[in-house]
Amino acid sequence: MSGLANRPYLKMNGIGNEIIVLDLTDGSHAVTPAEARAIAAREPFDQLMVLYPPQKAETDAFMRIFNTDGSQSGACGNGTRCVSWYFMPLAGKDRLLLQTPTSLVESRRAGQGFTVDMGPPAFEWQQIPLARDTDDTKAIDFSFGPVDAPILQAPSVVNLGNPHVVFWVDSDPTDYDLGTIGPQIEHDPLFPERVNVSLAQVRSRDHIVLRVWERGAGLTRACGSAACATAVAAVRLGRTERKVRVTLPGGDLLIEWRESDGHVLMTGSVELEHEGRFTADWFAHAA
């Protein structure tokens, strides 16, 4: 029987990004990819945020992030805000330092919401990563669609905990069939670790409208790391200021690419949908 049987969990969302928060800080179990997929089959989510005991003295917890397909993500800003809502009262703090397999993530209260420090972005082609060298990741030589009339072309690429490719579009992102386009680009050989696919329309110097196909999860109402990656890419191209509002189908995020240290700050709200408890039958086929 799975060690997750009878465990409580929280179903939350960060502006529509469906999140499950699971507290395993007692160190009694380690979630497997098969268990993550089994949970998604019963309680659909975009990301499963699992808290484990801290591995570094200065941190509050160690965190793993699972996608719907059981793969792991390097960052999830919306999920980290949900974790903050749950864990800050338990820790008796208004600020948390969480360790992931790839980085340290700091979050703090910000009015009725939370601000997550997503750290500095990475731009080198090896850091994205891409399968081949490219001189300028602000606008790479890549297109989607017919060679003589591509639907999308010259995207920006950024790594912000996860690899992101951002296509700039002139019309509303909902005008495009991202459900068809997204998985094809996610699995393109150019992206050896797959990629999050974003369609971004710049409405003004401080406003971007965004739609995201998330690797391992699919179409999502919100993706915090994609919003951050898009904001950074827009600044690099001179399209926006360093502080922008990013509108996703689930709502708005405020993004700042801080000039003093290059860190990206994301501020937004969270919502508790319900509390639940796993039962043994959820994991009958998750051996």
At 49-97, the pLDDT tens digits run 999 999 999 999 999 999 999 999 988 999 999 999 999 999 999 999 9
Is the Cα dihedral 272, 217, 212, 77 positive or negative?
A: positive
Measured between alpha carbons, how far is 89 from 121 in angstroms, rounded to an integer? 30
Q: Which two tokens stand for residue 138?
A: 């602000």
Measured between alpha carbons, how far is 68 from 215 in angstroms, rounded to an integer? 9
DSSP state of 161: S
pLDDT of amino acid 1? 62
pLDDT by residue for the chain (287 residues), tens only, comes to 689 999 999 999 999 999 999 999 999 999 999 999 999 999 999 999 999 999 999 999 999 999 999 999 988 999 999 999 999 999 999 999 999 998 899 999 999 899 999 999 999 999 999 999 998 999 999 999 998 999 999 999 999 989 999 999 999 999 999 999 999 999 999 999 999 999 999 999 999 999 999 999 999 999 999 999 999 999 999 999 999 999 999 999 999 999 999 999 999 999 999 999 999 999 988 76
pLDDT of amino acid 286? 75
**By C-alpha distance, which of 235, 241, 233, 183 is closest to 212?**
183
The residue written with tokens 């508790």 in the block is 272
pLDDT of amino acid 102? 85
pLDDT of amino acid 89? 96
The answer to whether the CB of 39 falls within 8 A of the CB of 50 is no
User: Can you point out the beta strands (E) in the chain?
Assistant: 8-14, 17-23, 47-52, 61-67, 72-73, 95-99, 104-110, 113-117, 143-144, 152-153, 156-159, 163-168, 196-204, 207-214, 218-220, 243-248, 251-257, 264-268, 271-277
DSSP state of 122: B
**By C-alpha distance, which of 255, 282, 277 is closest to 266?**
255
pTM of the model: 0.93
- Burial letters 98-130, b for 16+ CB under 10 A, else e: bbbeeeebbbbebeebbbbbbbebbbebeebbb
Measured between alpha carbons, how far is 175 from 257 in angstroms, rounded to an integer? 28
List Cβ neighbours of 111 (8 Å cut-off, separation of 6 or more).
none
- The catalytic residue positions are 76, 223
Measured between alpha carbons, how far is 93 from 97 in angstroms, rounded to an integer? 10
The tens digit of pLDDT for each residue in 53-65 reads 999 999 999 999 9
